[in-house]
Amino acid sequence: MTIILDKSANVFTLQSKHSTYQMKVGKLGNLLHTYYGARLSAQDLSYLLFDGENHFAPYPSEFSNRRGSLDILSQEFPTAGTGDLRSLGLLLENADGSRVLDLRFVEVKLLPGKYALESLPAFFAASDDEKVESLEITLRDELSQVEIQLLYAVFEDKDVITRALRVKNLGEQAVRIKKAQSLVLDFHSGDFDLIHFQGRWAMERQFERQALTHSTTSFGSNYGVSGNRQNPGFLLADKATTEDFGDCYGFNLLYSGNWTATAEKSSLGQNRVTLGLGDADFSWQLLPGESFEAPEALLSFSNQGFTGLSHNFHDMVRENLCLSKYSRTARPVLLNNWEATYFDFDGEKLLEIAASAKEIGADLLVLDDGWFGNRFDDNRALGDWHVNEEKLGMSMGELARRVNEAGLKFGIWFEPEMVSEDSDLYRLHPDWTLNFPDRKPLLGRNQLNLDLSKKLVRVYLFEVISKLLDSAEISYLKWDMNRPISDWYSSGLDREHQGELQHRYVLGLYELLSSLTTRYPDVLFEGCASSGARFDLGMLVYQPQIWTSDNTDAVNRLKIQYGTSFFYPLSTMGAHVSAVPNHQTGRETPLETRANVAMAGSYGYELDPTKLTEAEKAQTLVLTERYKDYQELIFSGDYYRLSSPFDSELTAWQIVAKDLSESLLTLVATNAEGNPPFNYLKLKGLDATALYEVEDHKYFGSVLMNAGLRLAQSRADYSSQQIYIRKVDKDG
335 pairs with which residues across the strands? 365, 605
Rounded to the nearest 5°, which phi and psi values hold at 557?
A: -60, -30
Query: Closest residue (Cβ) to ligand DGJ?
Result: 369
Question: Applying CB under 6 A, which part among 217-225, 272-280, 523-531, 669-677 lies near ligand DGJ?
Answer: 523-531
Give the residue with the Cβ less far from ligand DGJ, 162 or 530. Answer: 530
Q: Considering only CA atoms, which of 643, 649, 683, 680 is closest in space to residue 663? A: 683
Give the residue with the Cβ less far from ligand DGJ, 11 or 419. Answer: 419
- Cβ atoms of 274 and 141 closer than 8 Å: no
Give the residue with the Cβ less far from ligand DGJ, 530 or 679. Answer: 530
Length of the chain: 732
CB of 386 to ligand DGJ, least distance (A): 18
For the stretch 621-627, contacts whose Cβ atoms lie closer than 8 Å and that sit 24 or more positions apart, written own/partner, are 621/359, 621/360, 621/361, 623/577, 623/591, 623/592, 623/595, 624/333, 624/360, 624/361, 624/362, 625/361, 626/595, 626/599, 626/722, 627/333, 627/595, 627/598, 627/599, 627/603
CB of 201 to ligand DGJ, least distance (A): 9
Give the residue with the Cβ less far from ligand DGJ, 147 or 526. Answer: 526
Residue 157 binds to ligand DGJ (criterion: CB under 6 A): no
Distance, CA of 497 to CA of 685 (rounded, Å): 52
Q: According to CB under 6 A, which one of 150, 350, 528, 555 is a site residue for ligand DGJ?
A: 528
Question: Applying CB under 6 A, which part among 402-410, 527-535, 586-594, 617-625 lies near ligand DGJ?
Answer: 527-535
Give the residue with the Cβ less far from ligand DGJ, 177 or 528. Answer: 528
CB of 412 to ligand DGJ, least distance (A): 11
Among residues 76, 536, 608, 662, the one annotated as catalytic is 536
Question: Applying CB under 6 A, which part among 233-241, 258-266, 320-328, 524-532 lies near ligand DGJ?
Answer: 524-532
SS3 sequence of 329-383? CCCCCEEECHHHHCCCCCHHHHHHHHHHHHHCCCCEEEECCCCECCCCCCCCCCC
Parallel/antiparallel/unpaired status of strands 476-479 and 409-414: parallel
**Close Cβ partners of 63 (under 8 Å, ≥ 6 residues apart):** none
Helix axis angle for 396-405 and 347-359, nearest 10°, is 20
Distance, CA of 672 to CA of 650 (rounded, Å): 9
Separation in Å, CA 202 to CA 43, 107, 290, 532: 49, 49, 42, 8
String of contacts with ligand DGJ for each residue 352-371, x by CB under 6 A: ----------------xx--
Active-site residue flag, 281: no
Say if residue 440 is exposed, middle or buried (CB neighbours under 10 Å; 0-12, 13-18, 19+).
exposed
Give the residue with the Cβ less far from ligand DGJ, 528 or 656. Answer: 528
CB of 365 to ligand DGJ, least distance (A): 14
210 pairs with which residues across the strands? 194
Among residues 616, 649, 687, 693, the one annotated as catalytic is 616
Give the residue with the Cβ less far from ligand DGJ, 381 or 408. Answer: 381
Map residue 662 onto helix, strand or coil: strand
Q: According to CB under 6 A, which one of 378, 473, 616, 693 is a site residue for ligand DGJ?
A: 378
CA distance from start to end of the chain? 44
Question: Applying CB under 6 A, which part among 31-39, 234-242, 400-408, 525-533 lies near ligand DGJ?
Answer: 525-533
| Count of residues that interact with ligand DGJ, criterion CB under 6 A | 12
Say if residue 97 is exposed, middle or buried (CB neighbours under 10 Å; 0-12, 13-18, 19+).
exposed
Q: According to CB under 6 A, which one of 35, 123, 338, 718 is a site residue for ligand DGJ?
A: 338
- Cβ atoms of 387 and 470 closer than 8 Å: no
Separation in Å, CA 92 to CA 138, 279, 285, 597: 17, 12, 10, 48
Give the residue with the Cβ less far from ligand DGJ, 372 or 413. Answer: 413
CB of 547 to ligand DGJ, least distance (A): 6
- Cβ atoms of 111 and 291 closer than 8 Å: no
Q: Considering only CA atoms, which of 165, 113, 114, 118 is closest in space to residue 137? A: 165
Show contacts with ligand DGJ in window 252-281 (CB under 6 A).
none
Residue 413 binds to ligand DGJ (criterion: CB under 6 A): yes
Give the residue with the Cβ less far from ligand DGJ, 546 or 600. Answer: 546
364 pairs with which residues across the strands? 334, 409
CB of 554 to ligand DGJ, least distance (A): 17
CB of 368 to ligand DGJ, least distance (A): 5
- Cβ atoms of 360 and 605 closer than 8 Å: yes
CB of 354 to ligand DGJ, least distance (A): 18
Question: Applying CB under 6 A, which part among 56-64, 526-534, 577-585, 637-645 lies near ligand DGJ?
Answer: 526-534
Show contacts with ligand DGJ in window 530-559 (CB under 6 A).
530-531, 547, 550
CB of 569 to ligand DGJ, least distance (A): 21
Distance, CA of 532 to CA of 389 (rounded, Å): 31
String of contacts with ligand DGJ for each residue 435-474, x by CB under 6 A: ----------------------------------------
Strands of 7-103, DSSP E: 11-15, 19-25, 31-38, 90-93
Active-site residue flag, 616: yes
Residue 316 binds to ligand DGJ (criterion: CB under 6 A): no
CB of 200 to ligand DGJ, least distance (A): 14
For the chain, the maximum distance between any two Cα atoms, rounded to a whole number of angstroms, is 86
CA angle 135, 137, 142 (to 5 degrees): 170
C-alpha 494: how far from chain center: 33
CB of 28 to ligand DGJ, least distance (A): 53
Say if residue 240 is exposed, middle or buried (CB neighbours under 10 Å; 0-12, 13-18, 19+).
exposed
String of contacts with ligand DGJ for each residue 469-488, x by CB under 6 A: -----------x-x------
* Amino acid identity, position 645: P
Which residues carry out catalysis?
A: 536, 616
List interacting residues with ligand DGJ (CB under 6 A). 338, 368-369, 378, 413, 480, 482, 528, 530-531, 547, 550
